[in-house]
Amino acid sequence: MTDTPFSPPSPGAAADSRSDDWRIDRERARAGAAGAIAADALEIVDETASTNSDLMARMKALPRERAAWGVHAVRAAYRQTAGRGRQGRSWRTTPGHALTFSLACVLPRPLAGLAGLSLATGVAVVESLARLAPAEAKRFALKWPNDVLLDGGKLAGILIETAWSTDTASAVVIGVGINVRRDEALEAELDAAAAKVPAQTRATQPAALSQALPNANLTDTLAVVVKALTDMIERFGTQGFAAFVDRWNARHAYANCEVVLLDKGVELARGIATGVDGSGQLLLSTSTGVQTIATGDVSLRLATDAP
């Protein structure tokens, strides 16, 4: 972490950047979250290696027998020098353009009871972002297992890590990265890098919330997502993913489409994606019957986008 302040994004960095609101207004964020977290639970820092790593270390040091259920901390950073996503991919952001934060919580569920948590998190994120732009709600969708899409582009990513688990509880850190404003310079850099790798291994192209909500800003985005995540954690703690499966399927981007599962570019399975089951497994209708695919180090692509 550093206390050295960043300069606001330059006016030409993105068409929708505004120099007056590139930082997070802490009090407005808490008010917008309807008091979902305690005043001292929200931390905003200029820079850190990884907000997930910060909170994982904190939760691992927590006395397990006395750990209270619910949210313990929310930590946001304008820049992460070692931010990461699923499958160990790096997560790159520019201050003022993307919202990156982690939420640490204790759930009254053992490790086996956490199945589907990343998908439930996706439901909370996509529904909260869609509420910010209700007229554009149909443009928001979910890609299995845990990507949030806008017009087919990747709007947000989720990384779930477990600090510890007992027979009755688990300490979890939920990392969320949301592209709030377009960063044309970074997009051009990613496009150039993608052109150098095989098409089947390329990541989904990025999208930004400002494409659906021109005045999108980090403060209001943080507020609505934290409130949604807090509500999700409370419900998941008592009901598990079963309470979210219908909501996930309602936002399924590839519902009834032919898809391909890839591992480092190698095809593992192909079929019609019909949805997910009560534990968050992908249901894939194939020529030999319905396969259930557990979340893991695989990539999902529309068949039209795969070799």
Per residue in 98-113, pLDDT (tens digit) is 999 999 999 999 999 9
The top-scoring range by mean pLDDT among 62-71, 109-118, 202-211 is: 109-118
- pLDDT for residue 171 is more than 60: yes
Residue 250: partners with Cβ closer than 8 Å, 6 or more residues away: none
Burial of residue 254 (number of CB atoms within 10 Å: 0-12, 13-18, 19+): buried
Residue 220, pLDDT score: 96
Tell me the average pLDDT of the chain.
Answer: 87
Residue 57, pLDDT score: 98
Strand partners, 51: none
Secondary structure letter of residue 156 according to DSSP: E
Ordered structural domains, the chain, with CATH: 26-250 (3.30.930.10), 257-305 (2.30.30.100)
CA–CA separation, 47 and 78 (whole Å): 6
DSSP 230-258: HHHHHHHHHHGGGGTHHHHHHTBTTTTEE
Per residue in 190-229, pLDDT (tens digit) is 556 555 565 555 567 899 999 999 999 999 999 999 999 9
Cβ 14 vs Cβ 183: under 8 Å: yes
Q: Average pLDDT for residues 134-161, to the nearest whole number?
A: 96
- pLDDT for residue 184 is more than 80: no
Of 95 and 271, more confident: 271
Q: Average pLDDT for residues 241-248, to the nearest whole number?
A: 98
Residue 17, pLDDT score: 40
Of 27 and 307, more confident: 27
CA–CA separation, 283 and 252 (whole Å): 12
Residue 88: partners with Cβ closer than 8 Å, 6 or more residues away: none
> Band of the pLDDT at 93, cuts 50, 70, 90?
low
Question: How many residues comprise the chain?
Answer: 307
Residue 182, pLDDT score: 85
Question: How far is the CA of 256 from the CAs of 126, 271, 287, in angstroms?
Answer: 20, 9, 14
